[in-house]
Structure 1
Amino acid sequence: MVCRVDGSTITLTGVVGDNFWDDGFTSGDVITALAMVGAGNPVTVQLNSGGGYATEGAAIYSALKGHGASVTVIVQGIAASAASLIAMAGETVIMSLGSVMMIHDPSTITWGTAADHQRTIDMLNALATSYAGIYAAKSGGTIEAMRGFMRDELWMTPEDAVAKGFADEVETASNDNQAVEASAFAYGIYAKAPEPLRALASAKGWKPRGPTMTAPPVLPPQQPKAERPLKEPTMSEVTDAVKAERVRAKGIMASPEAKGREALAEHFAYETDMSVEAAVAALKLAPTASADGDEPEDPPETFAERKTRMQDGDGLGLPGKRPSARAEQAEKAKAGWGNVVDKHNKAVEARRR
């Protein structure tokens, strides 16, 4: 940023409201600088700016006016456009030798419908009126007179600025005083910029690369992007998925390894997403119902038997009801699933070696 603090002096150089290229200053920079000077302490602002954003210029003006102590503004080189408004915050405004000041109507870029353009016109008129009120308060003129100056794009020498009330004095000449070159800015964008400034900008290669208007561009409101709807699966895709799931479950339950391990096989088939191959490999490592001396497995039940068992609450922990051998086997199989997985992983690792 080009906002420096040296004791009670703040130096502001470059574009108003933009320090992306490290050649300007923002209202935030100025507020921080004032805090460093300290509330209640007189401050001197050395200003050299070709302009920038009108709204930032207004914010900086307000920050300086609200400092709570005397503010002296010394225009070094140039105070044009938004920078001229900053100068108006000075209780005393001093024009350095060879400096210039310029006031004009704010401008911006707009795009859209006639309604969009009309909103921009209303905004610019309000901004211009606000600026004119500040110029009038400093110079002692009327708002109407200030609006006339602004429409004409008024450029002033130090003597002109003092004569019209925009400045209070011209810096006293001395051997030590040297005219300060205007800060880098694309002065060719102004309709009535003095030829020396245009020539200087051309010789230095100062071209628009940041904000070159006095108000931020106004664009039509953005319409919210419609969310892309989720793709609904087709009927054939649903049918294929169901068919594949049935084939997987049937492959697990029909495998020879499921015999004697039906409860665990049912768990793999209907409560997990294990492939047939992975389930069969795990079943091989699991003990059968009779391997550990458990109760013999219940014979296959009929629909009536299953209905009766469900009505009696078998396996649901109801008072006085003892789970069947099948239910106990299922619980044991599920409880031992961690050991089965460990054995399966060890077997796979052994085969890899």
Structure 2
Amino acid sequence: MAVIVEDGQLTLTGYVGESTLEIDGWVIFDGFTHAEVVAALGEFGPDEDLVVHINSGGGVATEGTAIRSALADREGRTDVVIDGIAASAASLIAMAGDTVSMSLGSLLMIHDPSGFTWGTVEDHEKTIKGLNSLGNTYARVYARKSGKSDADCRAIMRVETWFTPEEAVAAGFVDRAIDDAAEAVAAFPYQHYAHAPRDLVAMAKSNNWRPPVPVTAGSKPNVPTLAKEKETPTMAQKPNAAATPAPPAAPAPSATAVSADQVKARIKAITEDDAAQGHEALAKHLAFDTDMPAEEAVAALKAAASDAPVKPTEDVPDAASYQARRSAASDLAQPAPGPQAKPKAAINTGGIYAARRNAKEV
């Protein structure tokens, strides 16, 4: 996890709502959860002054709300310093500070929460209602800090607004800009934001930063298996062999290993096919979150575009798990389900297509 307690200060870095993701002993994504922050706060006295450093591109909206509440409800003074970036859900966490400071060159971003719905008009209407409620909740927090009205803050959120330290101070979201140089921004899929600075988007693409994939004990993440000669991820940090025991050997993969070039070619074939136009979210899910062959993924995209039935397969994507991982961000803040989120029904895409085919045959 990326919750660090050192010298009487608390540092939160990485993705909001997910802990460390490791593949073959390499750390390729890091983050922090509400539970981890609460546990870390237990190391400080309730009346003790606390400085919280934040460097996060955002994550799960509801996790951000819970973390902000945990910090704001402390009896002692809480001061927040934005070291590199506080975007989306992380910007809401920053509002918990009695004072909020931004380092030289750092960024603050606030925007409306977003989500993914697959289903009927009623399903979409429920999502719209939930997103509006969450957006209004965020707006009230920003309004309390800045002195603006709820409506003004919601308007700023709707257009996804990025602030330099000086601009954030002028807008009232930050109390002061400090001369300390900003740290490198945390790894995050910034290309999912609508108006992210070009340098952040380029950095995210070049480093292949994507939303994290949860890993449970004894399980393997849902990512393509690469050959042993795979390149070291740019953001990877090699575990310290002297301090960390070697992880147990993973079982041999049942699928044939593929090269990094083949993985890239498959992703490109899915996301750049004409059928992906208008269905970009589904295309990204099929490309990054499933191992479905490119031909089958394109067929599913064409079916979604033309409402034509396709033959269901065992590899039909689980849209519910995709929704749980997306955040802000395309959840940014991405309001993927957190511990307090209402349960959502799983979607059987294969069943939908089969029902459509049977209806047409009748």
TM-score band, normalised by shorter chain: 0.5 to 0.7
Q: Does the Cα contact within 8 Å between 1:106 and 1:128 map onto a contact in 2?
A: yes
Partner residue in 1 for 2:173:
166
Q: How far, CA to CA, are the matches of 1:221 and 1:62 in structure 2?
A: 28
| Paired residue secondary structure (2:76) | coil
| Paired residue secondary structure (1:78) | strand
Q: How far, CA to CA, are the matches of 2:346 and 2:39 in structure 1?
A: 34
Q: Does the Cα contact within 8 Å between 1:111 and 1:219 map onto a contact in 2?
A: no
Partner residue in 2 for 1:263:
none
Q: Does the Cα contact within 8 Å between 1:100 and 1:156 map onto a contact in 2?
A: yes
Partner residue in 2 for 1:15:
15
Tell me how many residue pairs correspond in the alignment: 219
1:59 aligns with 2:183: no
Q: Report the alpha carbon displacement of residue 201 of structure 1 after superposing the two structures with TM.
A: 1.3
1:131 aligns with 2:134: no
Q: Does the Cα contact within 8 Å between 2:18 and 2:212 map onto a contact in 1?
A: no
Q: Report the alpha carbon displacement of residue 179 of structure 1 after superposing the two structures with TM.
A: 2.6
Q: Does the Cα contact within 8 Å between 1:34 and 1:67 map onto a contact in 2?
A: no
Q: How far, CA to CA, are the matches of 2:138 and 2:88 in structure 1?
A: 10
Letter in 2 for 1:155: W
Q: Deviations over 1:33-64 (max 9, x none)?
A: 11101211011000000000000000000000
1:94 aligns with 2:101: yes
Partner residue in 2 for 1:207:
210
Q: How far, CA to CA, are the matches of 1:27 and 1:135 in structure 2?
A: 20
Q: Deviations over 1:248-285 (max 9, x none)?
A: xxxxxxxxxxxxxxxxxxxxxxxxxxxxxxxxxxxxxx
Matches within 5 A, 1:310-329: none
Q: Report the alpha carbon displacement of residue 11 of structure 1 after superposing the two structures with TM.
A: 0.4
Q: Report the alpha carbon displacement of residue 199 of structure 1 after superposing the two structures with TM.
A: 1.7
Partner residue in 1 for 2:111:
104
Q: How far, CA to CA, are the matches of 2:205 and 2:144 in structure 1?
A: 36
| Consecutive unaligned residues in structure 2, runs of 5 or more | 22-28, 214-324, 328-333, 348-362
Matches within 5 A, 1:29-108: 29-108=36-115
Matches within 5 A, 1:183-262: 183-210=186-213, 211-213=325-327, 214-216=334-336, 220-221=344-345
| Paired residue secondary structure (1:37) | coil
Q: How far, CA to CA, are the matches of 2:48 and 2:211 in structure 1?
A: 37
Letter in 2 for 1:182: V
Q: Deviations over 1:185-211 (max 9, x none)?
A: 010000000111112212322123444
Q: How far, CA to CA, are the matches of 1:26 and 1:209 in structure 2?
A: 13
| Paired residue secondary structure (1:63) | helix
Q: Does the Cα contact within 8 Å between 1:153 and 1:192 map onto a contact in 2?
A: yes
Q: How far, CA to CA, are the matches of 2:190 and 2:134 in structure 1?
A: 22
Q: How far, CA to CA, are the matches of 1:35 and 1:3 in structure 2?
A: 13
Q: Does the Cα contact within 8 Å between 1:112 and 1:219 map onto a contact in 2?
A: no
Q: Does the Cα contact within 8 Å between 1:49 and 1:183 map onto a contact in 2?
A: yes
Partner residue in 2 for 1:322:
none
Q: How far, CA to CA, are the matches of 1:170 and 1:212 in structure 2?
A: 32
Matches within 5 A, 1:246-285: none
Q: Report the alpha carbon displacement of residue 111 of structure 1 after superposing the two structures with TM.
A: 1.4
1:5 aligns with 2:129: no
Q: Evaluate the alpha carbon distance shift between residue 220 and residue 178 of structure 1 in structure 2; reply closer, same or farther with a 3 A threshold.
A: closer
Query: RMSD value over aligned CA atoms?
Result: 1.6
Q: Report the alpha carbon displacement of residue 67 of structure 1 after superposing the two structures with TM.
A: 1.1
Q: Evaluate the alpha carbon distance shift between residue 40 and residue 221 of structure 1 in structure 2; reply closer, same or farther with a 3 A threshold.
A: same
TM-score by length of 2: 0.58
Partner residue in 2 for 1:245:
none
| Consecutive unaligned residues in structure 1, runs of 5 or more | 224-353
| Paired residue secondary structure (1:198) | helix
Q: How far, CA to CA, are the matches of 1:142 and 1:73 in structure 2?
A: 23
Q: Report the alpha carbon displacement of residue 219 of structure 1 after superposing the two structures with TM.
A: 7.6
The structure with the greater share of residues assigned to helix is 1
Q: How far, CA to CA, are the matches of 1:208 and 1:222 in structure 2?
A: 20
Q: Does the Cα contact within 8 Å between 1:26 and 1:56 map onto a contact in 2?
A: yes
Q: Deviations over 1:210-244 (max 9, x none)?
A: 44411016885359xxxxxxxxxxxxxxxxxxxxx
Letter in 1 for 2:55: N
